[in-house]
Structure 1
């Protein structure tokens, strides 16, 4: 299945982008996802929330894209995953990626938690 990527910057928190994915993240679509995420970072995104609610399959290529974004955001931002189906959640857990990326039940919850972290005293 093809992958569609829809991204938007949050209207209030302009350094936060929500990326909604639909379809499969695999060897044939991972480069596009990588390029789209890189473009968002280039446009000023410090926080990314990936809505995976409509992703039915993710292979190692997709996992590699997620792992590749982590160091780019680690210093001043975060990558959070939302609405991950149980099969993909298990792959993330098995590969240890759940230690890098928090998983939330919804995009709204992910945004709330990420913004609360920004407001926390350093």
Structure 2
């Protein structure tokens, strides 16, 4: 890399009954405001079933993880959920180690995340 900062890009695709939020770049303290804004806007619109595609996320620090947890708690309080798709091994490992798999379950595909109508069943990644 050139040593220049990698910014977070947040893309939202709202569908009837759910939304897909795609993240790319780095989710650190510099990007949490943008993500929190988008997730809060979805909640304000009544969209509480949110799949977050983190496949293009290069890095996620504690503040980024905290923002995802906050969004998940907000969604659960309104009867919804936040589910992750495509977590790289490093992020999936942190979620497992910190025992956050119930709050932020990870799935292989968006379709898998949307199809799970029962309790969260996270993917085990290596």
Task: Give TM class, smaller chain.
Answer: 0.7 to 0.9
2:91 alignment partner, one of 88, 110, 115: 88
1:78 equivalent in structure 2: 81
> Within 1, Cα distance between the matches of 2:31 and 2:72?
19
> Within 1, Cα distance between the matches of 2:45 and 2:68?
18
Structure 1 segment 15-30 matched on structure 2, within 5 A? 15-30=17-32
Runs of at least 5 residues in structure 1 that lack an aligned partner in the other structure: 118-122
1:4 alignment partner, one of 5, 9, 30: 9
2:56 equivalent in structure 1: 54
TM-score by length of 2: 0.83
What is the number of residues matched between the two proteins?
A: 112
Do the aligned partners of 1:15 and 1:44 also contact (CA within 8 Å) in 2?
no
Select between 88-97 and 58-67 the one with higher mean Cα deviation.
88-97
TM-score by length of 1: 0.86
> Within 1, Cα distance between the matches of 2:46 and 2:52?
16
Q: Secondary structure at the match of 2:101?
A: helix
Moved over 4 A (4+): none
Runs of at least 5 residues in structure 2 that lack an aligned partner in the other structure: 1-5, 119-126
| Structure whose residues are more often helix by fraction | 1
